[in-house]
Amino acid sequence: MKRELKPELLDSLPPDHPDALHNRRDLRLTNGVMGNHRWFARTLPPLLRPGETALEIGAGTGELGIRLAAKGVALDGLDLWPRPATWPVARAWHQADLLTFDGYAGYPVVIGNLIFHQFSTTDLAALGRKLRQSARLIVACEPWRRKLSQVCFARIAPLLGANYVSLHDADVSIAAGFAGEELPQMLGLDAAEWDWRCLSTTLGAYRMTATRRP
């Protein structure tokens, strides 16, 4: 599949809209089925150095960050949405556009769950320039771009109660996802300076860990 970027319906809804709330329920189910949060909880802690604070971009409702905080991960959030009421009191929340955010220098570790696919190749290159200035570790979980994932979601999700926003946005998200080594390449990571690993799962997740070489 050729990568294709289209608007997601969720972006046009306020956070408290009933359809947005239903979509968040569907996203929780999707993350659970795909095992995305479990993967972060297994993968991230061993990669962190003592005293490091991570930043989750596109932190949304904060559910992943709260789970990681329970694992002892020091993690702040960045999103256009307001700070979730359940976000840890001791952790910062930056309500800002991740493309124009000027605080990346304070975070050696940046993670993102189902967020990088929302940006064009040009925007990913710009984001990569920002991250490369200070990050030593980037961890991401995204949709694996393949037709089979679109077909399976379209058939199974309605049986699980997914609403029209979730059905539309999942199809769009998969079409904008990644395959192979596309994400580190689009972020402009230099193989001479970075080690990365990209893998895809049977359930449609595309996962990347990228570490700057010493």
pLDDT at 65: 96
Q: Provide the token pair at 127.
A: 């984001």
Tell me if 99 sits within 8 A of 45, measured CB to CB. Answer: no
3-class DSSP assignment, residue 110: strand
pLDDT at 15 (0 to 100)? 83
The one-letter code for the residue type at 57 is I
Task: Write out residues in the chain with pLDDT < 70, as ranges.
Answer: none
3-state secondary structure of 181: coil
d(CA 180, CA 130): 23
Per residue in 55-104, pLDDT (tens digit) is 999 999 999 999 999 999 999 999 998 999 999 999 999 999 999 999 99
CA 61 distance to own-chain centroid: 12
Q: Would you state the pLDDT for residue 140?
A: 98
Please give the pLDDT value at position 11. Answer: 87
pTM of this structure: 0.95
Identify the structural domains of the chain with CATH numbers, from first to last.
Answer: 35-146+179-212 (3.40.50.150)
Residue 148, classed as helix, strand or coil, is helix
- Predicted confidence at residue 113, as pLDDT, reads 98
Q: What is the predicted pLDDT for the residue at 183?
A: 98
